Amino acid sequence: MTEVWILGGTGRSGRAIAAELRKRDIRPVLVGRDAKRLAEAAKGDEVVVAASVDDLAAEIGRRRPAVVVNTVGPFSATAAPLARACLPASTTSTWRTTWPRSPPRSVSARRPRPPAARS
């Protein structure tokens, strides 16, 4: 079976993703810092305890899960080391990003030019 790791498995997003995977008969591996909270959230699924982002990256490099879902923020600090850990193997990475409640003004203010005006 394909191993799907959820980094930040005890957080709100991690628990929600794990619940959706279980509905589809996929048993996720929950990854986080707190062994007790992981055991409670895992509902019998496998857990990986890692104290830091560097430890997470080392475990990814060592165990080579097929899919890694990162819900550990801040993403500006966690994305690069975790992505690097996934690259050497054919690990598929899905990075969850969070927009502000409404898109930034520069994004929402953009309107495409009419087709005739395009060059």
Query: How far apart, in whole angstroms, are the C-alpha atoms of residue 10 and residue 30?
Result: 8
Contact 25, 9 (CB under 8 A): no
Picking from 88, 86, 80, the residue whose alpha carbon sits closest to that of residue 4 is: 86
Q: Read off the pLDDT of residues 5-46 as tens digits, 9 standing for 90 and up.
A: 999 999 999 999 999 999 999 999 999 999 999 999 999 999
In order of start, what are the domains of the chain with their CATH numbers?
A: 4-96 (3.40.50.720)
Which pTM value belongs to this model? Answer: 0.71
Q: Read off the pLDDT of residues 63-103 as tens digits, 9 standing for 90 and up.
A: 999 999 999 988 888 888 998 898 865 545 555 555 445 44
